DNA sequence: CTGAAAGCGCTTACAG
DNA sequence: CTGAAAGCGCTTACAG
């Protein structure tokens, strides 16, 4: 990478002159046109780009903490988009004077980013959507930088999780109130995480309350907007199907409901649906029928993440990982019968 | 802000020692426990935080271009969330080795951020959702840094816009094919922008094609998920209502359709609906009935933004603002009668 | 109109 | 076990 010095040498002028020209102050400082030309030629020849770190250092620019949000780069449709928006808002609300840097990473390969994490380039790191492998890697890192995982568990790193058991209990309560004792389940197929914790918790709580779930009535699907169609088809083909579906993701539930409408299956009279919500509650509120969801509250998650980081950045001695659990939010709507 | 030097002085040790300890290498370098304690006390007393610019400079860390995305901090539900996700993806796809920094700003007050923009702290700046005032301010800035505005027009700054006229033409074509010659319009009420360009364009094109729009059949509403309810109520109360609605935002269209369903107004046989789509096409695809939308393609917009910035960062001489127009995408669905 | 020098805050190779 | 010094790349006040 060419530096100011290189440019100065090539153009046969001093570094000051180059600096002035590169910063667009040539005329203000009445640099001669010939010098400007010489310098700009050198700049282009060398492909010079100023080093922003040096610049910022020189400017003694407010040394704001830098927070990095690592984000699997192919994530578009889930919780993470909301969380990013909410992190942005919470930084503002908490008047946290920091710089938020969004870094895409590839699942299973967050180690490629290890150098910048260890180097303490950041004052805090938030990791969304890590695989098991990514989590293990991050845990192995010898770094002072506080790392917060979103919806993952770890002994060593801080975590903010939605309370998976609460989700299960909320769902089970709804079932009990409506006297539903037999449920079909739609779970998410995920390559990168030992996912399905929420579905597992739900299944366990159902057992506790003697709500029946036939193994054959559990359908797994990729968390994709279109997959609800397949899921609905599979559901319809089931023998001994239950009249109730618990769905791990509203992303799937949307198209599922659409297909049931098409097939004239009446919701909720013939079929009741509860879904976990990750999209933000507005997206399931105005479909017909509106979908009863137990929502993962991205705003609360973002808020807790920011609080943890602010605290740990404030107090370096606070080395213990924080583990915060956030409660889900129930939205009772038309897809599930009123008690 | 305390520096390493301050800590060293207070702890009565050299800067090297402080640096080693602060970086967690105390044991590896066998620093005595008493020294560690002295230093950590000083660190805490002064609230020392390392200057990451100096650090990065010292590490000669890859001097990646920094791209700042300015974003009105209260924006949650519209296009911008998608664009951020897409910018992230496009950076990856284009193998653009840069740092993406997300900065929240308050509409009408982007000037608060002017210093960091002028300083060349960034190699490129993307601005989403600026008000007229913000645009004027940015235009007045004497800076070498390329600035790209999303969906705004400017002579001086680069812009990436969805082709508003194409949207209008697509909508008008649908109307003509379906022999609709009388339309109601739902427009967005926006505090910060001379918005409604799209609605204006649509109205103009309708005139060109002799499609009637009664002034009384134009309803304005804030772009909020719940506002479709009010809009639908107002529509229902209209005298001489048309049997077709053109809606400027799918955010509004969702709840509007929901309310029409409730009131048993049959779509599309009694009432046809076309909406501009900003949410991403999946969100209007699986509501019942699915909504015909003309979508603002956030992926294409993001792609163009990144291309402009890559080009301008590559070639400093390229000072002329780029003006890129991106074509909308039509999704014909159930809310509008098949031709 | 242009240059030499100081210094932003940090880390590391080296010396002791 | 700890310190003095060099240097990362830049900008600016000063000198001429």
Predicted confidence (pLDDT) per residue in A78-137, tens digit: 677 788 888 988 988 888 888 888 888 889 999 887 777 776 678 899 999 999 999 999
pLDDT band at A24 (very low <50, low <70, confident <90, very high): confident
**Residue in the block written with tokens 């499609």:** B211
CA atoms within 13 A on the CB side of A336: 31
Q: In what order do the strands lie in the sheet with A292-295?
A: A218-222, A184-189, A244-247, A272-277, A292-295, A329-331
Residue A305 has pLDDT above 90, yes or no: yes
Scanning every residue of chain B, which has its alpha carbon at the shortest distance from the alpha carbon of A66? B52
Q: Which residues contact A169 (CB under 8 A, 6 or more apart)?
A: A205
Q: In the beta sheet, which residues pair with residue A272?
A: A244
Nucleotide D1, nearest residue via CA and C1': B31
CB contact under 8 A, B77 and A101: no
Residue A77 has pLDDT above 80, yes or no: no
Assess A28–B contact: CB distance below 8 Å, yes or no.
no
Element at A195 (helix H, strand E) = none
C-alpha distance from B286 to closest chain A C-alpha (Å) = 5
- Provide the pLDDT for residue B239: 85
CA angle B29, B35, B38 (to 5 degrees): 140
Assess A47–B contact: CB distance below 8 Å, yes or no.
yes
> Is the C-beta atom of B59 closer than 7 angstroms to strand C?
yes
> Is the C-beta atom of A57 closer than 7 angstroms to strand C?
yes
Q: Is A150 exposed, middle or buried (0-12, 13-18, 19+ CB in 10 A)?
A: buried
Average pLDDT over residues A269-282: 94
Q: In the beta sheet, which residues pair with residue B245?
A: B184, B273
> Is the C-beta atom of B22 closer than 7 angstroms to strand C?
yes
Which candidate from B40, B61, B84 shows the least CB-CB separation from A84? B84
Question: Between the CA of A98 and the C1' of C7, what is the distance in angstroms?
Answer: 25
Tell me which chain A residues have a C-beta less than 8 angstroms from the C-beta of B89.
73-74, 76, 104
Domains of chain B: 4-58 (1.10.260.40), 66-162+299-327 (3.40.50.2300), 164-297 (3.40.50.2300)
Region label for B333, one of left (φ > 0), alpha (ψ between -120 and 50) or beta (otherwise): beta
Question: Between the CA of A76 and the C1' of C8, what is the distance in angstroms?
Answer: 40
Question: Between the CA of A6 and the C1' of C7, what is the distance in angstroms?
Answer: 21
> Is the C-beta atom of A118 closer than 7 angstroms to strand C?
no
pLDDT over 90, % of chain B: 57
Q: In what order do the strands lie in the sheet with B323-326?
A: A323-326, A158-162, A147-150, A124-127, A66-72, A99-105, B99-105, B66-72, B124-127, B147-150, B158-162, B323-326
pLDDT over 90, % of chain A: 57
Question: Between the CA of A3 and the C1' of D3, what is the distance in angstroms?
Answer: 31
Residue A62 has pLDDT above 70, yes or no: no
How far is Cα B78 from Cα A310, in angstroms, rounded to an integer?
28
Q: Are strands A329-331 and B66-72 parallel, antiparallel or unpaired?
A: unpaired
Question: Between the CA of B55 and the C1' of C15, what is the distance in angstroms?
Answer: 24
B233 token code pair: 């109520």
- Provide the pLDDT for residue A337: 87
Q: Which of B79-83, B139-143, B193-197, B236-240 has the lowest mean pLDDT?
A: B193-197
Assess B36–A contact: CB distance below 8 Å, yes or no.
no
Q: In the beta sheet, which residues pair with residue A273?
A: A245
pLDDT band at A76 (very low <50, low <70, confident <90, very high): low
pLDDT band at A175 (very low <50, low <70, confident <90, very high): very high
Which candidate from B50, B61, B313 shows the least CB-CB separation from A49? B313
Which candidate from A104, A228, A282 shows the least CB-CB separation from B88? A104
Assess A40–B contact: CB distance below 8 Å, yes or no.
yes
Which candidate from A73, A258, A285 shows the least CB-CB separation from B89? A73
In a mutational test of the B interface, the residue from A60, A80, A117, A120 whose CB has the highest number of chain B CBs within 10 Å is A120
- Provide the pLDDT for residue A119: 65
- Provide the pLDDT for residue B102: 87
- CB atoms closer than 10 angstroms to residue B244: 24
pLDDT tens-digit readout, A127-167: 999 999 999 999 988 777 899 999 999 999 999 999 999 99
Nucleotide D13, nearest residue via CA and C1': A16
Which candidate from A116, A144, A225 shows the least CB-CB separation from B282? A225
Q: Are strands B124-127 and A272-277 parallel, antiparallel or unpaired?
A: unpaired
Q: Is B211 exposed, middle or buried (0-12, 13-18, 19+ CB in 10 A)?
A: buried
CB contact under 8 A, B261 and A1: no
Question: Between the CA of B140 and the C1' of C4, what is the distance in angstroms?
Answer: 35
pLDDT band at A13 (very low <50, low <70, confident <90, very high): very high
Average pLDDT over residues B38-46: 86
Tell me which chain A residues have a C-beta less than 8 angstroms from the C-beta of B85.
75-76, 81, 84
Nucleotide D2, nearest residue via CA and C1': B17
Average pLDDT, chain B: 89
Query: Who wins on pLDDT, B122 or B297?
Result: B297
Q: In chain A, which among 258-287 make CB contacts under 8 A with chain B?
A: 258, 261, 280, 282-283, 285-287
SS3 A126: strand
CA-nearest of A58, A63, A68 to A15 is A58
CB contact under 8 A, B40 and A317: yes
C-alpha distance from B80 to closest chain A C-alpha (Å) = 9
DSSP output for B215-276: GGGEEEEES-TTHHHHHHHHHHH-TT--SEEEES-HHHHHHHHHHHHHTT--TTTT-EEEEE
> Is the C-beta atom of A61 closer than 7 angstroms to strand C?
no
pLDDT band at A195 (very low <50, low <70, confident <90, very high): low
Tell me which chain B residues have a C-beta less than 8 angstroms from the C-beta of A91.
104
Q: Which nucleotide is nearest to B8 (CA to C1')?
A: D3
Determine the straight-line distance between the first and last CA of chain B, rounded to whole angstroms.
68
* CA A22 from centroid of its chain's CA atoms: 39
Tell me which chain B residues have a C-beta less than 8 angstroms from the C-beta of A290.
258
Question: Between the CA of B39 and the C1' of C14, what is the distance in angstroms?
Answer: 23
Assess B40–A contact: CB distance below 8 Å, yes or no.
yes
Average pLDDT over residues A316-330: 91
- Provide the pLDDT for residue A314: 79
Tell me which chain A residues have a C-beta less than 8 angstroms from the C-beta of B142.
24
How far is Cα B244 from Cα B212, in angstroms, rounded to an integer?
11
Backbone angles phi, psi at A199, to 5 degrees: -65, -40
Element at B102 (helix H, strand E) = strand B99-105
- Provide the pLDDT for residue B185: 96
Q: In what order do the strands lie in the sheet with B244-247?
A: B218-222, B184-189, B244-247, B272-277, B292-295, B329-331
Tell me which chain A residues have a C-beta less than 8 angstroms from the C-beta of B63.
1, 49, 51-53
CA-nearest of A56, A149, A87 to B52 is A56
> Is the C-beta atom of B9 closer than 7 angstroms to strand C?
no
How far is Cα B172 from Cα A282, in angstroms, rounded to an integer?
30
Average pLDDT, chain A: 89
pLDDT band at A169 (very low <50, low <70, confident <90, very high): very high
- Provide the pLDDT for residue A101: 86
Q: Are strands B99-105 and B66-72 parallel, antiparallel or unpaired?
A: parallel
- Provide the pLDDT for residue B141: 81
How far is Cα B240 from Cα B287, in angstroms, rounded to an integer?
28
> Is the C-beta atom of A31 closer than 7 angstroms to strand C?
yes
pLDDT band at B130 (very low <50, low <70, confident <90, very high): very high
Assess B54–A contact: CB distance below 8 Å, yes or no.
yes
Query: Who wins on pLDDT, B255 or B313?
Result: B255
CB contact under 8 A, A288 and B261: yes
C-alpha distance from A33 to closest chain B C-alpha (Å) = 15
Question: For residues B130-152, b (16+ Cβ closer than 10 Å) or e, as one string?
Answer: bbeebbebbeebebebbbbbbbb
Residue B62 has pLDDT above 70, yes or no: no
Backbone angles phi, psi at A145, to 5 degrees: -70, 130
Q: Which residues contact B333 (CB under 8 A, 6 or more apart)?
A: B284, B285, B289, B290, B291, B292, B293
Q: Is B165 exposed, middle or buried (0-12, 13-18, 19+ CB in 10 A)?
A: middle
C-alpha distance from B95 to closest chain A C-alpha (Å) = 11
SS3 B25: coil
How far is Cα A148 from Cα A127, in angstroms, rounded to an integer?
6
pLDDT band at A267 (very low <50, low <70, confident <90, very high): very high
Determine the straight-line distance between the first and last CA of chain A, rounded to whole angstroms.
68
How far is Cα B184 from Cα B201, in angstroms, rounded to an integer?
14
Q: How far is CA A124 from CA A56, A70, A140, B66, in A?
A: 19, 11, 17, 18
- Provide the pLDDT for residue B161: 95
CA-nearest of A314, A273, A235 to B44 is A314
Query: Who wins on pLDDT, B68 or A44?
Result: B68
pLDDT tens-digit readout, A215-263: 889 999 999 999 999 999 999 999 888 999 999 999 999 999 999 999 9
- Provide the pLDDT for residue B75: 66
For helices A4-11 and A33-46, the axis angle rounded to 10 degrees is 130
pLDDT band at A61 (very low <50, low <70, confident <90, very high): low
Question: Between the CA of B142 and the C1' of D6, what is the distance in angstroms?
Answer: 37
For helices A4-11 and A15-22, the axis angle rounded to 10 degrees is 110
């Amino acid at each position: 990478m060419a530096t100011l010095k290189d440019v100065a040498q090539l153009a046969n002028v001093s570094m000051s002159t180059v600096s002035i020209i590169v910063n667009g102050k040539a005329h203000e400082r009445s640099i001669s046109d010939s010098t400007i030309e010489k310098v700009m030629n050198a700049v282009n020849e060398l492909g010079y780009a100023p080093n922003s770190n040096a610049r910022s250092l020189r400017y003694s620019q407010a040394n704001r903490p830098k927070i990095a949000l690592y984000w699997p780069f192919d994530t578009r449709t889930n919780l993470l988009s909301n969380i990013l928006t909410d992190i942005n808002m919470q930084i503002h609300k908490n008047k946290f004077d920091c710089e938020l840097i969004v870094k895409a990473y590839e699942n299973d390969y967050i180690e490629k980013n290890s150098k910048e994490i260890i180097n303490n380039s950041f004052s805090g790191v938030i990791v969304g959507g890590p695989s098991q492998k990514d989590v293990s890697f991050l845990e192995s890192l010898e770094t002072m930088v506080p790392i917060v995982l979103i919806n993952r568990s770890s002994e060593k790193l801080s975590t903010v999780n939605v309370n998976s058991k609460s989700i299960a209990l909320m769902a089970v309560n709804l079932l009990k109130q409506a006297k539903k004792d037999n449920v079909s389940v739609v779970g998410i197929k995920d390559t990168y995480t030992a996912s399905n914790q929420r579905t597992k918790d739900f299944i366990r709580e159902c057992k506790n309350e003697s709500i029946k779930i036939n193994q054959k009535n559990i359908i797994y699907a990729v968390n994709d907007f279109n997959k609800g169609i397949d899921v609905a088809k599979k559901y319809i083909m089931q023998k001994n199907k239950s009249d109730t579906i618990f769905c791990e993701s509203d992303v799937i539930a949307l198209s599922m409901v659409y297909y049931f409408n098409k097939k004239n299956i009446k919701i909720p009279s013939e079929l009741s649906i509860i879904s976990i919500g990750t999209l933000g509650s507005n997206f399931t509120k105005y479909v017909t029928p509106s979908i009863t969801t137990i929502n993962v509250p991205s705003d609360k998650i973002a808020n807790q993440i920011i609080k943890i980081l602010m605290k740990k950045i404030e107090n370096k001695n606070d080395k213990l990982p924080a583990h915060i659990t956030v409660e889900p939010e129930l939205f009772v709507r038309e897809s599930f019968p009123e008690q």
